[in-house]
């Protein structure tokens, strides 16, 4: 037996372990320090009431012989949810057929699983800094990775370089960790580039619900030509607070690889996945109802208010940053290396953030703050940051 040697090439995921280590050392030495955590990428607001209602109702159905559900009819998701997701796309003018929607237990799983579709010899292009799953899942399957620099010069929304050749392109917009987002024209440039070289774009739209700028698309399928070259991963996690419930979906358009991609993905899922629970799917259906969207928008508005506050205090303090407008993430320039800044913020302001260097080499010297906290904590954290750095 030989183990998969590609795992030897995956770096230890030390970022959040190291943060926890430094924070617990600090709190042990200063037990009364009022530490505020502004680094976590997890939502904090509770589920929308209509989503909870739908979950309870589904749970009751499961307790009665007449309405009990076992395995779902197919692993792609119940038609009621796929139709609801298709209607959700229509709300922002994008046509996606329910047949093209594949429900899952979250975007991270889909991100990790989609690599099964591609040949091991393919070259993968990822922007740097980046959500680490794109890199690690491809290293685990032995693929070559090339990076595209996201920097202050390009506002952390890089455009394609025609001289670079690759087969698979990962794009995340609005972006984790930088909070930047592609405009229609920026995304069109990627679609045109992908088509010109015969590459596939894996587009992560997990934060689409945060988009406010009319110039920023909420789906890659708002771009002409994307149906021929892209799959889109999306999630109820940040839109509807499902990080602990688990539900997401992948859209595979009919046109991609002449329909072969959709067939292969359905085959992969039906072989290795037995579907998302009925209860989760009913909750997701409620999240995309009129009432669900209204209630979830109120939660997103609360995070947006935090993000806007963080951004405005940084602007007043004269600190370069991206994000905060179409995203719950704010990416700021430290003026030192990322870990020195981390320690300075923890010790001087008792605020915890995420060092940008954990997301790639271009993240060095940057820092991620998140809007997933209460308004009161956000205001207090920013008051302390301004006092420390202003």
CB of 188 to ligand PLP, least distance (A): 21
Query: Contact between 354 and ligand PLP (CB under 6 A)?
Result: no
Please, which residue, 104 or 378, has the CB nearer to ligand PLP?
Answer: 104
Distance, in Å, from the CA atom of 112 to the CA atom of 138, rounded to the nearest integer, reads 8
The string of DSSP codes covering 288-322 is TSHHHHHHHHHHHHHHHHHHHHHHHHHHHHT--EE
- What residues numbered 221-250 form the site for ligand PLP, per CB under 6 A? 235, 237, 243, 248
When the beta carbons of 265 and 350 are compared against ligand PLP, the nearer one is: 265
Compute how many residues bind ligand PLP; rule: CB under 6 A.
Answer: 13
- Examine residue 107 and tell whether it contacts ligand PLP (CB under 6 A): yes
Counting runs of H as helices and runs of E as strands, what totals does the chain give? 12, 13
CB of 268 to ligand PLP, least distance (A): 18
What are the structure tokens assigned to 311, written together?
């951004």
Binder to ligand PLP among 106, 127, 132, 160 (CB under 6 A)?
106
- For ligand PLP, the closer CB: 240 or 332: 240
Q: Choose between 55 and 389: whose C-beta lies nearer to ligand PLP.
A: 55
- Any idea which residue has 């839109």 for tokens? 239
Minimum distance from CB of 202 to ligand PLP (Å)?
Answer: 11
In the complex, what is the shortest distance from the CB of residue 132 to ligand PLP, in angstroms, rounded to a whole number? 10
Beta-bridge partners for 128: 149
**Residues whose CB falls within 8 Å of the CB of residue 309, separated by 6 or more in sequence, listed in order:** 375, 378, 379, 382
Residue (235 or 378) nearer to ligand PLP, CB: 235
Q: Which residue from 53, 47, 101 is spatially nearest to 78, judged by alpha carbons? A: 101
Which residue's C-beta sits nearest to ligand PLP?
106
Candidates 100-108, 141-149, 313-321, 340-348 — which segment interacts with ligand PLP by CB under 6 A?
A: 100-108
CA distance 211 to 327: 7
Which residue, 176 or 338, is less far from ligand PLP as judged by CB?
Answer: 176
Which residues have C-beta within 8 Å of that of residue 354, sequence separation ≥ 6?
15, 19, 39, 41, 177, 367, 368, 369, 370
CB count in 10 Å sphere of residue 344: 16
Per the rule left: phi > 0, alpha: psi between -120 and 50, beta: everything else, 354 is: beta
Q: Which one, 117 or 349, has the nearer CB to ligand PLP? A: 117
Q: Using CB under 6 A, pick the residue from 19, 148, 168, 172 that binds ligand PLP.
A: 172
- Tell me the residue length of the chain: 390
Shortest distance (Å) from residue 233 CB to ligand PLP: 7
Q: Report the distance separating Cα 122 and Cα 106, nearest Å.
A: 25
In the complex with ligand PLP, the residue whose CB is nearer, 342 or 372, is 372
Footprint (CB under 6 A) of ligand PLP, residues 245-274: 248
List all residues 6 or more positions away from 139 whose beta carbon is below 8 Å from its beta carbon: 6, 9, 10, 145
278 close to 58: Cβ distance less than 8 angstroms: yes
Angstrom distance (rounded) from CA 224 to CA 94: 11
**With contact defined as beta carbons under 8 Å apart, do 77 and 86 qualify?**
no
* Span 122-141, contacts to ligand PLP by CB under 6 A: 131
Q: How far is the CB of 106 from ligand PLP (least distance, A)?
A: 3
From the list 363, 289, 345, 248, the residue with the least C-alpha distance to 88 is: 289
Q: Exactly one of 126, 187, 206, 313 binds ligand PLP (CB under 6 A); which one? A: 206
Greatest CA separation for the chain? 65
41 lies in the binding site for ligand PLP (CB under 6 A)? yes
Cβ-based nearer residue to ligand PLP, 43 or 54: 43
Which positions lie near ligand PLP, rule CB under 6 A? 41, 106-108, 131, 172, 176, 204, 206, 235, 237, 243, 248
């Amino acid at each position: 037996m030989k183990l998969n040697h590609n795992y030897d090439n995956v770096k230890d995921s030390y970022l959040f372990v190291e943060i926890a280590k430094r924070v617990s050392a600090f709190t042990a030495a200063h037990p009364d320090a009022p530490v505020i955590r502004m680094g976590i990428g997890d939502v904090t607001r509770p589920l929308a009431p209509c989503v909870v209602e739908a979950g309870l109702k589904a749970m009751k159905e499961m307790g009665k012989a007449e309405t009990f559900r076992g395995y779902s009819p197919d692993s792609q998701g119940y038609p009621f949810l796929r139709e609801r997701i298709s209607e959700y796309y229509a709300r922002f003018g994008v046509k996606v057929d329910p047949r093209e929607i594949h429900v899952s237990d979250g975007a991270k799983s889909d991100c990790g699983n989609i690599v099964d579709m591609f040949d091991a010899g393919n070259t993968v292009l990822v922007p740097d800094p980046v959500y680490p799953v794109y890199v690690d899942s491809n290293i685990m399957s032995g693929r070559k990775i090339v990076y595209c620099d996201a920097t202050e010069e390009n506002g952390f929304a890089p455009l394609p370089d025609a001289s670079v050749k690759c087969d698979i392109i990962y794009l995340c917009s609005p972006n984790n960790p930088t909070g930047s987002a592609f405009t229609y024209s920026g995304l069109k440039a990627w679609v045109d580039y992908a088509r010109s070289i015969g590459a596939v774009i894996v587009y992560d739209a997990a934060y689409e619900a945060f988009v406010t700028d009319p110039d920023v698309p909420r789906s890659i399928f708002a771009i002409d030509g994307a149906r021929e070259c892209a799959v889109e991963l999306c999630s109820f996690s940040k839109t509807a607070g499902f990080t602990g419930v688990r539900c997401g979906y992948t859209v595979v358009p009919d046109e991609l690889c002449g329909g072969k991609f959709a067939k292969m993905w359905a085959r992969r899922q039906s072989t290795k996945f037995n579907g998302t629970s009925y209860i989760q799917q009913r909750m997701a259906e409620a999240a995309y109802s009129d009432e669900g969207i209204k209630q979830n928008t109120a939660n997103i508005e609360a995070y947006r208010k935090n993000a806007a506050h963080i951004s405005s205090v940084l602007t007043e303090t004269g600190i370069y940053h991206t994000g905060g407008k179409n995203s719950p993430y704010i990416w700021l320039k430290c003026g030192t290396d990322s870990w020195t800044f981390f320690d300075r913020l923890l010790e001087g302001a008792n605020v915890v953030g995420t060092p940008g260097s954990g997301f790639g080499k271009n993240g060095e010297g940057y820092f991620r703050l998140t809007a997933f906290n209460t308004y009161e904590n956000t205001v207090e954290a920013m008051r302390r940051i301004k006092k420390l750095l202003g």
